Amino acid sequence: MDVIGLGALNLDLIYRVDFAHLGIERGRERRGREGEEKLLLQILRREGKLKAKSGGGSAANTIYALARMGFSCGYVGKAGRDKRGDFLLEELGRAGVDIRKVKRGKESGLCLILLDEVGERTVFVFPNANDTLSLSEVDVDYLNKAQFLHMSSFIGDIPFKAEKEVVKRVKTRISFDPGEPHASRGLEELAPILERTFIFFPTEKEVELLTNKDYKEGLRELLNYGIEIIACKLGEKGSYVLSKREEIEMPSEKVKAVDTIGAGDVYAAGFLAGLLRGLNLKACAKLATKLAAKSITGYGRENYPDKQDFLSFK
């Protein structure tokens, strides 16, 4: 296989809201508290406007995009034995992702994404079944069948410990997108994963969280862990790619943004697609930027790239 993903599986519900009217602070991203999920859904159904219902989870988004581009992909994670879980797996399956290794738990993960008219957002994450994925539920032999294992963050400790054990046992190249939950754990906690990582996809903020340094200085420090390639996502500023031999600054493409959530995941998909195709790092970054720009012109996975987008790249 080309790429297998390991990470959270969430149902993303994207609502357009008036933050002032709801009394909710803009720009937050946090774990939902116990009992909060039902209350928030009641408020949003009454006061907000549902714009999209989509599968989510960072690694799942990356794998979904790669499968749509025609790559052979699989996924390892945990969904609930509920309608949400059925939706998540059916969506991945339709894209061509092998979902046989996805386990089922009690209740699927949920991500409530609140957007206002100018694109400001607040996110509430309810991990649910994701937080129960243990090492015993991960088929390491299956992971070794891929050219890349693409990993992203979990919120809970059980799956995080499983990821640290997995990297000791797999022989395939590791692609790692930490997300803020993992970056917040600090360098000491992440070191076992970083030392086995081939390509690393942090954001500017995540680098600064990990190193307490400006992102360029922090990235050079992170290379000392043995990482071959770091592709740092800078949002509207584009991306900054660093290896022991190259340093590339890639500007973003200017498009009318509708929903930027998942853009970094599609960027990772584009970069991995370029590596699988044998492109140089500059071309990989250019492809990743082009595909990420397309993804933000729709809600959720609505405008994720497909095979034609990939094949038409020059």
The confidence score (pLDDT) of residue 119 equals 63
Residue 27 has pLDDT above 70, yes or no: no
- The rounded distance, in Å, linking the Cα atoms of 109 and 106 is 10
pLDDT tier, 100 (very low <50, low <70, confident <90, very high otherwise): very high
pLDDT at position 296 is: 87
pLDDT band for 261, please (50, 70, 90 cuts): confident
> What SS3 state is found at 132?
helix
Residue 29: per-residue pLDDT = 76
Q: What is the pLDDT of residue 26?
A: 65
pLDDT at 117 over 90: no
Beta bridge partners of 74: 4, 98
Structure tokens at 211: 């190193």
Q: How far is CA 201 from the centre of its chain?
A: 9
Q: Which residue has the tokens 């945990």?
A: 78
Q: Please provide residue 262's backbone torsions phi and psi, each rounded to the nearest 5 degrees.
A: 95, -10
Give the pLDDT confidence score for residue 22 in this predicted structure. 72
Amino acid identity for residue 21 in this structure: H
299 near 276, Cβ under 8 Å? Answer: no
Handedness of CA 159, 162, 164, 167 (dihedral sign): negative
Average pLDDT over the chain reads 92
pLDDT at 81: 96
DSSP codes joined into one string, 151-201: EE--SSHHHHHHHHHHHHH--SEEEEE-HHHHHTT-HHHHHHHHTTEEEE-
Q: Decide which of 18 and 304 is more confident.
A: 304
In the predicted model, is pLDDT for residue 171 greater than 80? yes
Mean pLDDT of 72-97: 96
Task: Say which residues have a Cβ less than 8 Å from residue 11's Cβ, sequence separation at least 6.
Answer: 53, 54, 55, 56, 84, 87, 88, 108, 109, 110, 111
Question: What pTM was computed for the model?
Answer: 0.93
Instruction: Indicate the helix (H) or strand (E) that contains 24.
Output: none
| pLDDT exceeds cutoff 80 at 255 | yes
Superfamily of domain 3-9+56-108+128-311: Ribokinase (3.40.1190.20)
User: According to the model, what pLDDT value does residue 77 have?
Assistant: 97
Residue range 142-169, pLDDT digits in tens? 999 999 999 998 999 999 999 999 999 9
Quickly state the pLDDT bin for 297 (edges 50, 70, 90): confident
CA distance 112 to 206: 22
- The SS3 of residue 141 is helix
CA distances, 29 to each of 113, 185, 294 (Å): 9, 16, 24
Residue 123 CB partners (closer than 8 Å, separation 6+): 28, 29, 30, 111, 112, 113, 114, 261
Predicted local confidence at residue 152, as pLDDT: 94
What share of the chain has pLDDT > 90, as a percent? 71
8 Å CB contact between 269 and 69: yes
Q: Find tokens 């219902």 and name the residue.
A: 53
Neighbours of 180 (CB within 10 A): 16
Amino acid making up residue 217: E
- Number of residues that make up the chain: 314
pLDDT digits (tens, 9 = 90+) for 37-84: 888 898 888 888 898 899 999 999 999 999 999 999 999 999 999 999
More confident residue, 235 or 63: 63
Look at residue 34 in the predicted model and tell me its pLDDT: 78
Q: How confident is the model at residue 123, as a pLDDT? A: 87
Q: Residue 9's closest CA among 159, 186, 176, 121?
A: 159
Q: What confidence score (pLDDT) does residue 3 get?
A: 98
Cβ neighbours of 314 (radius 10 Å)? 6
At residue 7, φ and ψ (nearest 5 deg) are: 175, -170
Q: Which two tokens stand for residue 288?
A: 């990743």
**What b-and-e string marks burial along 12-22, b requiring 16 or more CB atoms within 10 Å of the CB?**
bbbbebebeeb
